Amino acid sequence: MLVLGVDPGASATGYGIVARSDDGVLRAVDYGSVRTTPRDPFPVRLQQIFSRLTELIRCYQPECAAIESLIFAKNVQSAFKLGQARGVALLAAAQGGLSIAEYTPLQVKSAVTGYGAAGKGQVQQMVGSLLGLKEPLRSTDAADALAVAICHHHSARLLHLSRGRGR
């Protein structure tokens, strides 16, 4: 299964594409972040995020998208901008025909580190370890997006296993 993970943000939207092989090993296919310039009008910045995510969906054809949900923001303006960036990510995934799952930061951190209050550094380190990356992740946005994709892989696997036992 190929999953596109997205960590939405107005200044930087992280993305990570994670595949699971038949033997259950996870690997990073591609990752990075869409960085926007605060000087640009906000609609232009949203269009840049949408275009890049659409390009990734077209190129890799993932089966689903896992998008981090909004829990809180420092102020109302930040919350609105973050919500709009999430909306753009949801739209790109929906237009790409992907199934969509949403996870809270607590769910993502718990799935990746086993601790819902883990710090950014712990998440980066565990993502690198779980995916067998040779180089440390430099972008926290990309690390968070990869973590969201890993969270979905774990959740989908658990759902599959629980359905298999019930039969």
Question: Residues annotated as binding site for Mg(2+)?
Answer: 7, 68, 141
Would residue 22 show up in a list of annotated catalytic residues for this protein? no
Which position among 23, 63, 68, 144 bears the catalytic label?
68
Half-sphere exposure of 111 (CA within 13 A, CB side): 21
Q: Which of 23, 55, 102, 141 is catalytic?
A: 141
Beta bridge partners of 31: 16
What are the binding residues?
7, 68, 141
Q: Which of 7, 30, 40, 63 does the annotation list as catalytic?
A: 7
Structural contact between residues 3 and 17, judged by C-beta atoms closer than 8 angstroms: yes
10 Å Cβ neighbour count for 57? Answer: 20
Q: Active site includes 63?
A: no
Name the residue with tokens 């930061």: 105
User: Which DSSP string corresponds to 96-154?
Assistant: TT-EEEEE-HHHHHHHHHS-TT--HHHHHHHHHHHHT-SS----HHHHHHHHHHHHHHH
Please identify every residue annotated as catalytic: 7, 68, 141
